[in-house]
Structure 1
Amino acid sequence: MKAKTLFKWIYEQVLHYNVFMLEENDYDDDHDIIDPIVALKYQKYKTWLYITLRTVCFYVLLYVILIKMEPKTIAVSNITPDLFAKLHAQYGRTLSCPCKTTTIPYKNFLTHNVTVHPVCSSDFVERAWIEGLYLENASHYGGCDFRTTAYSQFKLLSEFCSLSNEMIAQIQTDIANTDIISIELGSEMEIRKAVDGFIKSKRHTVSDQMISFLNYLRTTIQGYFLVTALGTNLILGLGTPDYVKLRMYETPVTLFDAEGLRRTCAIESPMIPAALPRVPSELICTYDRSTMTLMSDSTVVQGFFAGCTPLESLLASRLDCLYNSQCIQLLFDYFPDLNRVRRISFFDLILLFFI
């Protein structure tokens, strides 16, 4: 009997439980009288909803706490590359494999396979070839004549190749003396990305240094208008323009473009294809040497250009002539010393450069 009474009491308490009980004066809201019975009914509905939601939230929280998985560490011995790759693919970031040795030099596992431009490994940058292009009266031909700047351009090309080889050797030394640091064993893909990123960083640094140096050199030459001894940007001469006194005069090298506009090396860097005319140097007048104009009987040297300085000419060149046997033979015809310096011959160059 007591159990039934107790159950009834609990039932009554739950049935009439009201969390949102209002004070007696709260039934009068803005002078609108609210029926206490209706208000009580709504309060009970809200109370039941509140208890239901609170019970559900408590249940969800309890469920999450009870089913939460405790981390479990499994030690695996005798790790091999294949086993590590399998575990890494299966567990991903939860896999931990501490390294006993946290640093290892790149040279212990990295090999280099450097590819350079074929010109830099050919006889075209050797001293024998460059000396064969030297002409004592090179400045007499004019800036458009390839004989004027051939020696200087190939000399610069040889220096650039030597400089690039030195930079490559320095990069290899820096990489060999650098350690990769890792406290955890990484996958092959992670190590490869780290190595590629490090090498690209080194390459970009060296490339930026070289480009900055070239830009500084070109800006200095153009800004201060440094005159070349070859007369490719300014021609100095002696004459008597007034037929009274012998005076020194200067004639800037000029190009008249297709629109008839006058472009001088003192202001811009005009450029035309380099050529080899048949006219002897003694027959070329000062005006022809100071004007960037191809003569009618000239043969264009493919891929080479004539500019205000040998440096500008070389930087614009594509070196197409060096891939053409007929063009190389043309150089032998205009530079006979090529056949007499260190036994260089046309056929030797073809074999060394193209095979």
Structure 2
Amino acid sequence: MTLNMFENVHKPNPSDEELNAQRKWTRAYIVVLIVIMASVSYITMLSYQTVTTIVYKPTLDEYANLPKSADCLCTNLSIPYHTFINFNPQFYEVCKSHFIKLNGGWMSLLYKSYTDQQDNKRNLRTFQGMAIFHFQAIQAMCRMVIMAVNNELTLFLNSTLTTVEILESDLFEKKINTTINSFCLNTMRSNFLYSLQWIRNMYSGNGLISALATNWYPVIAFEATIGTIYMKAQKYNLSSCNCATMPGCVEPMSLELNSGSNWTVPGMMIGCLPLESMLESTLECIYDQDCLDTITETLLAKSIRALSSTQTRFKPINTTKLITTASELFIEDWGVKFSYEKYFASCQPKTCSYVSSERFHIITSMSTIFTIYGGICILLRFIIPIGFKFAYKCFSRRNRQVTAMDTT
């Protein structure tokens, strides 16, 4: 009741009126201070603060424990793919088998069969006369595919992945899978198939004549020192398909048995051009031991081991044409492996920062409250006396006006 926080040290004996006014100011000061500080404490304890946390040179384990909103800037912005991606393509088994080995038993057998047919002037439009060229075409195509794949892989792996911030593991995996699929399906296939189609269009569009006379053959009416040689188109499928109008004519290839009869070789085709007929053929015979035994017995050679159909993904064997296999680049499996750990090490993030919202801690809250308390105390010591004096003047003026009206 007697507390006086506004005591004037220069007037040690104030009048009763001044003393009562100072005590009123003190009571108002205490009430206002309590209300303000209670409000400030309530707001401070319940409010959230924004905290920025910085982690220097984080390890992969530390990065994994950071919030997904963390920003980690890479030291190396451009990272070559070969630092974290590895390719080990597995090619079609035929491309690495003894059936296309240059000096292997199978190619030597087919070449001997062709020379025998040629020397004896026998029909070359048989397995004995044409098989060597089919497998030479397969050999050339396998070699071209392997070379193209290796060249394209070198270019791709030396290109770079550009990222300003390090990618999260799931986003990294999606991005790399998309990049690899685009490379495998679009770049590789389009480049190889474009070259293959360009070759096919070149010799068919220009009417090139095969040295094997499979599409055109010469017709000599009579012998003369100077004369004209006329070329006549070959026909296939019982003369229903003419190479002059349809360069892609094909029909089943037959093997001349020792008995003199013809035996149709499963899957093998013959036509206007060896490449076209080879692309329309299947390779089911070299996966069938009985088929190979029939061929080797006819050609008077040792038995040749067939390939296993369980080693290839191009199935069914008896219906999958070589053009289908070629469009898949003769690749059984790309053997792609990529490492997020190696990508993280190549990125080398210097700092990771993230912003979080959390309630004020007790120590922080008390520090804030005491800081505000000092300012409010000083402010109230100025405001409250002025406010009381202003209110007193307003109240006194109103009383005088009321008294004057009553007197009147």
TM-score bucket of the superposed structures, by smaller chain: 0.5 to 0.7
1:131 aligns with 2:108: yes
Deviations 1:54-82 (A, max 9, x none): xxxxxxxxxxxxxx988642223563434
2:200 to 215, 218, 228: 218
- 1:271 lines up with 2:250 in the alignment: yes
**Deviations 1:141-177, CA, capped at 9 Å, x for gaps:** 5464122221111111111111111122213322332
- Pick closer, same or farther for the CA change 1:346–1:352 going to 2, 3 Å: farther
Decide which of 160, 167, 189 is 2:141's aligned counterpart: 160
Taking structure 1 as the reference length, the TM-score comes to 0.62
Does residue 81 of the first structure (1) align with residue 38 of the second (2)? no
Looking at structure 2, the residues matched to 121 and 354 of structure 1 have their Cα atoms a distance apart, in angstroms, of: 16
Secondary structure of 1:136's counterpart equals helix
Aligned-partner SS, 1:160: helix
Structure 2 CA distance for aligned equivalents of residues 227 and 148 of structure 1? 17
CA distance in 2, matches of 1:255, 1:352: 33
Is 1:187 paired with 2:168?
A: yes
Conserved 8 A contact 2:286-2:306: no
More strand, by proportion? 2
Aligned partner of 1:151 among 125, 128, 132: 132
Instruction: Assess, with a 3 A threshold, how the Cα gap between structure 1 residues 157 and 256 changes in structure 2: closer, same or farther.
Output: closer
CA distance in 1, matches of 2:144, 2:176: 25
2:94, 2:100 within 8 Å by CA — same for their partners in 1? yes
Structure 2 Cα separation of the partners of residues 320 and 328 of structure 1: 10
Q: Are the aligned partners of 2:237 and 2:250 in contact in 1 as well (CA < 8 Å)?
A: no
**Pick from 176, 179, 188: which aligns with 1:206?**
188
Write the deviation string for residues 240-260 of structure 1: whole angstroms up to 9, x where unpaired: 49xxx9974543211356xxx
Describe the SS at the equivalent of 2:220: strand
The structure having more radius of gyration, on CA atoms, is: 2
Match of 1:117 in 2: 92
The 3 A distance-change label for structure 1 pair 223 and 104 is closer
Aligned partners of 1:324 and 1:352: how far apart in 2?
Answer: 9
Preserved contact between residue 238 and residue 246 of structure 1 (Cα < 8 Å): no
Whole-Å separation in 2 of the counterparts to 1:69 and 1:318: 72
Residue identity in the other structure for 2:93: P
Distance 1:159 1:102 in 2: 42
Q: How does 1:45-84 map to 2 (within 5 A)?
A: 72-77=51-56, 79-84=58-63
Distance 1:248 1:170, change over 3 A: closer
Q: 1:190 to 1:234 in 2, by over 3 A?
A: same
Measured in 2, the distance between the counterparts of 1:70 and 1:237 equals 97
The more displaced of 134-143 and 160-169 is 134-143
> Number of matched residues?
256
Deviation at 1:96, TM superposition (A): 0.7
Deviation at 1:181, TM superposition (A): 2.1
* Aligned counterparts, 1:1-355, within 5 A: 72-77=51-56, 79-87=58-66, 91-92=67-68, 94-128=69-103, 129-134=106-111, 135-136=114-115, 138=117, 140-142=121-123, 144-203=125-184, 204-240=186-222, 248-256=229-237, 262-268=240-246, 269-278=248-257, 297-336=261-300, 339=301, 345-347=302-304, 349-350=305-306
- String of CA shifts for 1:204-234, please: whole Å, max 9, x gaps: 2232122112222222222222111212112
Unaligned 5+ runs, structure 1: 1-67, 281-295, 340-344
Aligned to 1:49: none
Tell me what 2:365 maps to. none
Aligned-residue sequence identity (percent) comes to: 23
Equivalent residue, structure 2, for 1:290: none
CA RMSD of aligned residues (A): 3.4
User: Residues 249 and 141 from structure 1, CA distance in 2 versus in 1: closer, same or farther, beyond 3 angstroms?
Assistant: farther
AA matched with 1:76: V
Residues 299/86 of structure 1: CA separation in 2 closer, same or farther (3 Å cut): farther
Which residue identity lines up with residue 297 of structure 1 in the other structure?
S
Residues 165/73 of structure 1: CA separation in 2 closer, same or farther (3 Å cut): same
8 Å Cα contact 1:146/1:275 also seen in 2: yes
Q: Which runs of 4+ in 1 moved over 6 A?
A: 351-355
Helix, strand or coil for the counterpart of 1:198? helix
What's the offset of the Cα at 1:106?
A: 2.1
**Aligned equivalent of 2:349:** none
- 1:115 Cα deviation (Å)? 1.6
